[in-house]
Amino acid sequence: METAGVTRMRLVGGNLALDFVNTRSGPPAGPPDDDVLTGYPDLVAWARYAGALTEAEAATLHRLARDDPGRAQATLARSLRTRKQLDELFRALATGGRPSARALARLRDDEAEAIGHAQLEHEGGYAWSWRHDGSLARPLRPVVHAAAGLLTTGPLDRIKGCGACRFLFVDESKNRSRRWCSMEDCGTTEKIRRYVARRARPTR
């Protein structure tokens, strides 16, 4: 059931909400040119891959989706709308701007709904858990909660956009010098691009 696109992607956001935003890829500016979430099963596979669901929960959700494909499709559509909103919200912060009042109100509503379906459980410490939320919207809950957490506790000044693609990440480097989503992908590509540009430049 899992699509190759979902399990091949790098989780580089440092936060579940940013990793969710990063399921769309493309150049740093302009519209995205690829999306790994093309069906509800992709959403479940991604959430499992990102560690937001257990294997058993993922299996249950796949079954629920097969039983009610219409509702699964509607849940995917809603999740993609939320992703677009989170994208705009965190991209605004990454570029030194501020999210709109509307974006904040939407996140408040989504977080209220997510918490409304959570339970407080003790496992080492107390934490919200959606283990018993048997609804198709289950994959989205921890994403929304992570977004609200990042927005309210930060570090907002460490949210950045990759210099060579549209991925967002939390820069956890000591001297805040991270520029790429990953050195293996964009860092290397950018280095090669600069090298080629240098070589192509006339010597005088």
Interaction site with Zn ion (CB under 5 A): 162, 164-165, 167, 181, 186
Nearest alpha-carbon partner for 113 in 133, 96, 93: 133
Specify the 3-state DSSP secondary structure of 72: helix
User: 164: part of which helix (H) or strand (E)?
Assistant: none
* 158 secondary structure, DSSP code: G
Q: How far does the chain reach from its first CA to its final CA, in angstroms?
A: 57
Residue among 65 and 164 whose Cβ is closer to Zn ion: 164
Cα–Cα distance measured from residue 136 to residue 72, given in angstroms and rounded to the nearest whole number: 7
Shortest distance (Å) from residue 170 CB to Zn ion: 14
Burial 145-179 (b: 16+ CB within 10 A, else e): bbbbbbbeeeeeebbbbbebbbbbbbbeeeeeebe
* DSSP labels, 158-204: GEEE-SSSS-EEE---TTS---SS-IIIIIHHHHHHHHHHHHHS---
Residue among 49 and 167 whose Cβ is closer to Zn ion: 167
User: 83: part of which helix (H) or strand (E)?
Assistant: helix 69-94
Residues in the chain: 204
Shortest distance (Å) from residue 4 CB to Zn ion: 20
Residue among 130 and 167 whose Cβ is closer to Zn ion: 167
Shortest distance (Å) from residue 43 CB to Zn ion: 22
Shortest distance (Å) from residue 140 CB to Zn ion: 24
Residue among 48 and 178 whose Cβ is closer to Zn ion: 178
Residue among 121 and 184 whose Cβ is closer to Zn ion: 184
Shortest distance (Å) from residue 49 CB to Zn ion: 19
Shortest distance (Å) from residue 178 CB to Zn ion: 11
Residue among 152 and 188 whose Cβ is closer to Zn ion: 188
